[in-house]
Amino acid sequence: MKRVHIYSFGCAHVDRRPPPSPLNRPWDLCVNVQHLKDPHASGLDPQVRNLFLELNSGEAELITTFADFMVGLAFKRFDEAAIAISCKHGFARSVSMTEVLGEHFRRKGYEVEIVHLHHNEPMIKSDCDD
């Protein structure tokens, strides 16, 4: 079975660099969603995720379409694909987008692993969005 790994992270926690991919190769797709409207609440909450989609419907659809394309390319060579989604703190936007992508790929019949690296970390001062 094909598997998609989707990680959310906060750039403030990793000095603007994505964390290592869970695969023995670079991320197949790494997207910064800091430019999207922020619901300012946990992306694990389904109501927050719905608000995130309301605020960013066109952008979320575009990211999902592009993720579909990149995962399809990865699956031409591998049985696994890896996606990283970042925002400033890894709490609202990246978590919401990661959950949206996870549901999308599950509906397509893929096994999905979701990891939220910084969801429970304290929000820290950072210039990562400057």
The answer to whether residue 129 is domain-embedded is: no
Average per-residue pLDDT in the chain? Answer: 91
Give the pair of three-digit tokens for residue 84: 């990283």
Residue 29 confidence (pLDDT) above 60: yes
Residue 122 lies in a domain: no
User: CA 55, CA 84: separation in Å to the nearest integer?
Assistant: 21
Residue 125 lies in a domain: no
Look up the pTM and report it. 0.92
Name which of 74, 87, 76 is nearest 18 in CA terms: 87
Number of domains making up the chain: 1
Residue 124 to residue 105: CA distance in whole angstroms: 32
Q: Do residues 92 and 100 lie in contact, with contact meaning Cβ atoms separated by under 8 Å?
A: no
Instruction: Judge whether 130 lies within some domain.
Output: no
- Give the residue numbers spanning the domain of 32: 3-116
Pairing of strands 3-10, 29-32: unpaired
44 contact partners, CB below 8 Å, separation of at least 6: 95, 99, 116, 119
pLDDT tens figures, 52-109 = 999 999 999 999 999 999 999 999 999 999 999 999 878 899 999 999 999 999 999 9
In a domain, 31, yes or no: yes
